[in-house]
């Protein structure tokens, strides 16, 4: 009788162990289902990358396995890059759970224009035979000047190991350089809603017409406002030449005069600082986004008398000035890092009194809003009048789409818009 009970107990233990092992293998304790949340079929032009998203929690995202059925695409951590014409099924799995999506690599993406500001399709110029330049060479040359930027992720990492920048080398002035042409939609400035990753470590910055101007690489060092804003927007983190500590000295850093400091939490509490405008969904005002702030090194900020107009870093010491980038990084609990399309990036050069939103394209800066804009006194807790955040329209600036022409079409600018669509 005792032997029989013992055998039953052993069997039960084996059964329980088997069930626990099965749960552990398929992630059942963490995940009951796995779904790709993009649409079922995606058309992608050669050279473009799309990020596939799932409903998996952050705790298992780095455990997901991705695979493609055809070499016409490559997949790296959910980023699918089109290499050649063809069709592939891209699958994601986690233990016994899986889902898949069809990616078709085509010459030109067919775009259905469901939202327009024109009366009929006859108002859309025929641009099907117009050649689309891949790079705005003039803007690129003007941006970099005499600098020799890194041309790959590997080179950026190598440069960072030596304390060398991967981008432009000229220290910026305090005010951002705003594009002469800023597209609008529905009466609002457009924030480019297309996150163009070549791969998970390479992000492309386009101009207002969707042409490439420059790239930033994860782990590279950058000092210009345009590059740092793009880096933060794309990767949700600081470039390699930044130190989170405000006390780091250029004399003790490999980066020397290119060192930048400060990566700290920004509460945005308008109760504590009533002259500051309320930023979208910020935790300090009851929202669900945690914001961070970083320094932007300039030739000097002169808007606030508390911060003398001095060069940020002379190689010996740092004078931080009043210029900052403030951006949404995490959810309220700090558990989930926000995706680029969820993230807000703002710039202030008068110490949080006024802000402009980064619109995810070269020279793309939103309308200024805040205390001085509203006629208040700089950093005053008595005489303050911050104007509210200025809403933008989230629209893709990706070239090669008929929708781009539909949204931006203006008869007075027809000659400037012809080459936007392929």
Per residue in 177-225, pLDDT (tens digit) is 999 999 999 999 999 998 889 999 999 999 999 999 999 999 999 999 9
**401-413 as b/e, with b when 16 or more CB fall inside 10 Å?**
bbbbbbbbbeeee
**Do residue 171 and residue 216 come from a single domain?**
yes
CATH number at residue 92: 2.60.40.1080
**Do residue 102 and residue 218 come from a single domain?**
no
User: Given pLDDT bands bounded at 50, 70 and 90, which one contains residue 1?
Assistant: low
**For residues 147 and 7, what is the distance between their CA atoms, to the nearest angstrom?**
76
**Do residue 217 and residue 294 come from a single domain?**
yes
CB count in 10 Å sphere of residue 48: 19
**Do residue 215 and residue 239 come from a single domain?**
yes
pLDDT of residue 53: 81
- Determine, yes or no, domain membership for 96: yes
Q: What is the dihedral of CA 119, 120, 125, 131, to 10 degrees?
A: 120
* Distance separating the N- and C-terminal Cα atoms of the chain: 83
**Do residue 218 and residue 99 come from a single domain?**
no
Instruction: Take residue 127 and report the two structure tokens written for it.
Output: 């641009």
- Determine, yes or no, domain membership for 124: no
Return the minimum-mean-pLDDT range out of 35-39, 322-326, 383-387. 35-39
Q: Which residue has the tokens 């350089």?
A: 177
**Do residue 241 and residue 275 come from a single domain?**
yes
Instruction: Take residue 314 and report the two structure tokens written for it.
Output: 């002379």
- Give, in order, the Cα–Cα distances in Å from 69 to each of 38, 89, 202, 266: 18, 5, 24, 45
Quick one: average pLDDT of 81-107? 89
Residue 2 has pLDDT above 60, yes or no: no
CB count in 10 Å sphere of residue 85: 12
Question: By percentage, how much of the chain surpasses pLDDT 70?
Answer: 80
**For residues 248 and 254, what is the distance between their CA atoms, to the nearest angstrom?**
11
**Do residue 254 and residue 332 come from a single domain?**
yes
- Determine, yes or no, domain membership for 122: no
Residue 146 has pLDDT above 70, yes or no: yes
Quick one: average pLDDT of 145-154? 96
- Determine, yes or no, domain membership for 265: yes
Return the minimum-mean-pLDDT range out of 4-18, 77-91, 178-192. 4-18
Nearest to 117 by CA among 187, 180, 181: 187
Quick one: average pLDDT of 334-352? 94
The total domain count for the chain is 3
Residue 405 has pLDDT above 80, yes or no: no
173 alpha-carbon distance from chain centroid? 23
pLDDT of residue 151: 95
Instruction: Take residue 325 and report the two structure tokens written for it.
Output: 């980038």
On whether the CB atoms of residues 300 and 309 are closer than 8 A, the answer is yes
Query: CB-based contacts of 271: which residues, under 8 Å, 6+ apart?
Result: none
pLDDT of residue 26: 43
**For residues 319 and 259, what is the distance between their CA atoms, to the nearest angstrom?**
12
- Determine, yes or no, domain membership for 415: no
Beta bridge partners of 325: 294, 347
pLDDT of residue 66: 92
Q: What is the dihedral of CA 298, 302, 304, 307, to 10 degrees?
A: 60
- Determine, yes or no, domain membership for 284: yes
- Determine, yes or no, domain membership for 406: no
> Which domain does 99 fall in, by range?
41-106
**Do residue 83 and residue 206 come from a single domain?**
no
**Do residue 1 and residue 55 come from a single domain?**
no
pLDDT of residue 76: 85
CB count in 10 Å sphere of residue 238: 21
pLDDT of residue 16: 43
pLDDT of residue 420: 33
- Determine, yes or no, domain membership for 311: yes
**Do residue 102 and residue 12 come from a single domain?**
no
**For residues 386 and 388, what is the distance between their CA atoms, to the nearest angstrom?**
6
Quick one: average pLDDT of 308-316? 95
pLDDT of residue 50: 77
**Do residue 314 and residue 209 come from a single domain?**
yes
**Do residue 268 and residue 369 come from a single domain?**
yes
């Amino acid at each position: 009788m005792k032997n029989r009970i013992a055998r039953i107990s052993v069997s039960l233990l084996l059964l329980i162990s088997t069930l626990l092992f099965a749960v552990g293998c398929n992630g059942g304790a963490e995940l009951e289902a796995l779904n790709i949340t993009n649409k079922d079929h995606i058309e992608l032009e050669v050279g473009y990358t799309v990020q596939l998203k799932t409903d998996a929690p952050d705790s298992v995202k780095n455990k997901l396995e991705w695979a493609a059925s055809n070499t016409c695409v490559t997949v790296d951590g959910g980023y699918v890059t089109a290499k050649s014409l063809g069709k592939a099924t891209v699958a994601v799995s986690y233990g016994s759970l899986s889902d898949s999506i069809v990616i078709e690599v085509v010459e030109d993406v067919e775009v259905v224009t469901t939202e327009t500001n024109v009366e009929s399709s006859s108002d859309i110029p025929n641009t099907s035979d117009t050649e689309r330049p891949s790079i705005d060479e003039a803007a690129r040359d003007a941006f970099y000047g005499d600098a020799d930027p890194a041309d790959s992720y590997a080179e950026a990492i190598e440069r960072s190991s030596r304390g060398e920048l991967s981008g432009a080398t000229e220290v910026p002035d305090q005010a951002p350089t705003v594009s002469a042409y800023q597209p609008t939609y529905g009466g609002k400035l457009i924030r480019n809603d297309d996150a163009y990753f070549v791969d998970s470590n390479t992000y492309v910055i386009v101009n207002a017409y969707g042409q490439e101007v420059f790239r930033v690489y994860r782990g590279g060092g950058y000092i210009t406002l345009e590059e740092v804003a793009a880096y933060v927007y794309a990767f949700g983190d600081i470039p390699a030449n930044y130190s989170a500590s405000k006390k780091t000295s250029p004399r003790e850093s490999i980066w020397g005069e290119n060192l930048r400091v400060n990566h700290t939490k920004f509460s945005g509490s308008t109760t504590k600082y009533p002259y500051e405008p309320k930023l979208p969904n910020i935790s300090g005002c009851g929202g669900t986004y945690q914001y961070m702030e970083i320094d932007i090194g300039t030739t000097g900020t002169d808007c606030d008398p508390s911060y003398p107009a001095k060069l940020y870093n002379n190689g010996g010491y740092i004078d931080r000035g009043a210029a900052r980038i403030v951006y949404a990084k995490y959810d309220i609990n700090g558990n989930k890092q926000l995706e680029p399309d969820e993230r807000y990036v703002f710039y202030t050069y008068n110490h949080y009194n006024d802000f402009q939103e980064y619109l995810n394209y070269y020279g793309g800066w939103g309308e200024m809003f805040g205390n001085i804009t509203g006629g208040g006194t700089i950093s005053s807790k008595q005489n303050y009048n911050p104007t509210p955040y200025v809403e933008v329209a989230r629209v893709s600036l990706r070239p090669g789409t008929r929708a781009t022409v539909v949204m931006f079409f203006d008869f007075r600018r027809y000659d400037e818009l012809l080459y936007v669509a392929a």
